[in-house]
Amino acid sequence: MENEPMVLDNESNTVYIGKKNAMNYVLVITTIFNKGSPTCTIKARGRAISKAVDVAEITMRRFLSEAVELKQVNIDSEEITNEKGTTRSVSTIELVLGKKDDDSIPKSPLVEFTDYEQSDENTLFIGKKNATAYTLVCVTIFNKGLDTCVIRARGRSISRAVDVAEIVRKKFLANAVDIAGIKIGSEEVEGQNGTRTVSTIDIVLKKTS
């Protein structure tokens, strides 16, 4: 909710992303590091996942570019029950930013992973279609005998990309594929109002055997 505090766990310096403007969260994270904390964890679920990546990118590229980097990243899903008792699954993301000069904070293998190639055959670009449509394309890529599928998205489509990855690895190809790497970044996009910067994500799914 809008009135919820942005930092809900001061001991672990965790920032939960909600409906506020991205810059509000960036300023909170900057304050956390300026107070001497070696890390800050950004958490989001559902549609807020795209904003969480925006917040991480703005913090690392603009506000604390010399001091902070992505240390760990994890995507998952959880069950949520609404007031009517209906349960649904929503995707989640956790991004751990840490100081570059702090070797005590190890980088996750998912962040370090670079051993993959992108091609027209194995890359799935996420757009405005529903997640199921992209899920079927991803499954088809693996059924063709390819070892990896690179799910790529930018801007608001990032949340849908995480949905697709979770559906593939937990439902359609459970125990057959898993996440090998997650890379976030940003790129310049030309629009009607000129050039703007948008966040990006690559989620690499790989056969487990």
Q: CATH code at 192?
A: 3.30.110.20
Helix axes 48-58, 22-34, angle to 10 degrees: 50
Please provide the distance, in angstroms rounded to a whole number, between the alpha carbons at the two ends of the chain.
43
pTM for the full predicted model: 0.88
Whether 10 shows a pLDDT value over 90: the answer reads no
Residue 87 lies in a domain: yes
Domain region containing 203? 113-207
Same domain, 150 and 97: no
Q: What is the mean pLDDT of residues 144-153?
A: 95
Q: Which residues contact residue 52 at a Cβ distance below 8 angstroms, ignoring those fewer than 6 apart?
A: 17, 42, 43, 44, 93, 95
Helix then strand then coil, in percent of the chain rounded to 5, is: 30, 40, 30
Residue 189 lies in a domain: yes
Same domain, 97 and 183: no
pLDDT band at 2 (very low <50, low <70, confident <90, very high): very low
Same domain, 59 and 126: no
Q: Measured between alpha carbons, how far is residue 128 from residues 46, 77, 131 in Å?
A: 15, 21, 9
Q: Are 152 and 125 in contact (CB under 8 A)?
A: yes
pLDDT band at 1 (very low <50, low <70, confident <90, very high): very low
Whether 70 shows a pLDDT value over 90: the answer reads yes
Whether 63 shows a pLDDT value over 90: the answer reads yes
Residue 1 lies in a domain: no
pLDDT band at 115 (very low <50, low <70, confident <90, very high): confident
Whether 158 shows a pLDDT value over 90: the answer reads yes
Residue 34 lies in a domain: yes
| Residues facing 39 on adjacent strands | 98
Predicted pLDDT of residue 85: 79
Last residue of a domain, one of 92, 107, 122: 107
Tell me the per-residue pLDDT of 19-56, one tens digit each, with 9 for 90 and over.
999 999 999 999 999 999 999 999 999 999 999 999 99
Query: What is the chain's mean pLDDT, rounded?
Result: 90
Last residue of a domain, one of 107, 129, 145: 107
Residue 2 lies in a domain: no
Q: Are 205 and 168 in contact (CB under 8 A)?
A: yes
The count of structural domains within the chain is 2
Predicted pLDDT of residue 9: 52
Tell me the per-residue pLDDT of 179-194, one tens digit each, with 9 for 90 and over.
999 999 998 887 777 7
Predicted pLDDT of residue 5: 43
